[in-house]
A and B are shown apart, each in its own frame.
Chain A
Amino acid sequence: MTTLPTSTDRKLGLVIDLDTCVGCHACVISCKGWNTENYGAPLSDQDPYGANPTGTFLNRVHSYEIQPEAAPAQLIHFPKSCLHCEDAPCVTVCPTGASYKRVEDGIVLVNESDCIGCGLCAWACPYGAREMDAEEKVMKKCTLCVDRIYNENLPEEDREPACVRTCPAGARHFGDFADPDSNVSQLTAQRGGMDLMPEMGTKPVNKYLPPRPKDQSLKEEVDILAPFLEPITEAPKGFLGWLDKALDAMPGGPKGGSN
Chain B
Amino acid sequence: MHPAPSVILFSTMSGAGFGLLAFLGLGLPVVTGGLAFGYFALAYLLAVGGLIASTFHLGHPERAMKAFKQWRSSWLSREGICAVAALVVMAIYGAGLVFFGTRIGLLGTIGAILSFGTVFTTSMIYTQIKTVPRWNNTTTPAMFLSICIAGGALLAGEVKFAVPLLILAAAAQIGHWLFGDRALAESGTTLATATGLGARGEVRAFEPPHTGTNYLLNEFVYVIGRKHALKLRIIALILMIAVPLALVLLGQSFIFIALAAISHLVGVFTARWLFFAQAEHVVGLYYGKR
Taking Cβ atoms with an 8 Å cutoff, the residues of A that contact B are: 1-4, 18, 28, 52-57, 60-69, 71, 73-76, 78, 80, 89, 91-98, 114-120, 122-128, 131-132, 134, 136-138, 194-201, 208, 210-211
Contact = CB atoms under 8 A, between A and B. Distances in A.
A93 B74 contact: yes
B256 interface: no
Q: Which 5 A-B pairs have the closest CB atoms?
A: A117-B59, A137-B59, A60-B209, A68-B201, A95-B67
Given A64-B205, A67-B202, A197 B59 contact: no
Interface string B1-36: 100000000000000000000000000000000000
A25 B210 CA distance: 10
B87 interface: no
B73 interface: yes
Interface string B74-111: 11110010000000000000000000000000000000
Given A96-B69, A128-B283, A56 B215 contact: yes
Interface of B: 1, 57-61, 63-64, 66-70, 72-77, 80, 125, 128-132, 187-189, 191, 193-197, 200-210, 212-216, 219-220, 281-283, 286-287
Contacts of B57: 118-119
Contacts, number: 193
B131 A125 contact: yes
B76 A62 contact: no
A3 B77 CA distance: 13
Contacts of A67: 201-202, 204
Contacts of B132: 123
Contact of B286 (A18, A80, A114, A131): A80
22 contacts: A18-B197, A56-B215, A60-B209, A62-B205, A64-B206, A66-B197, A66-B200, A95-B76, A96-B77, A114-B63, A115-B63, A116-B60, A117-B59, A118-B67, A122-B219, A123-B281, A124-B129, A125-B131, A127-B286, A131-B214, A132-B219, A137-B59
Contacts of A94: 70, 73-74
User: DSSP class of A's interface residues: helix, strand, loop or mixed?
Assistant: loop
B80 A95 contact: yes
Given A76-B197, A194-B196, A199-B189, A123 B215 contact: no
Contact of A120 (B76, B200, B203): B76
Contact of B69 (A4, A64, A74, A97): A97
Contacts of B189: 126, 197, 199-200
Contacts of A118: 57-59, 67, 76
Contact of B202 (A4, A57, A66, A208): A66
B131 A96 contact: no
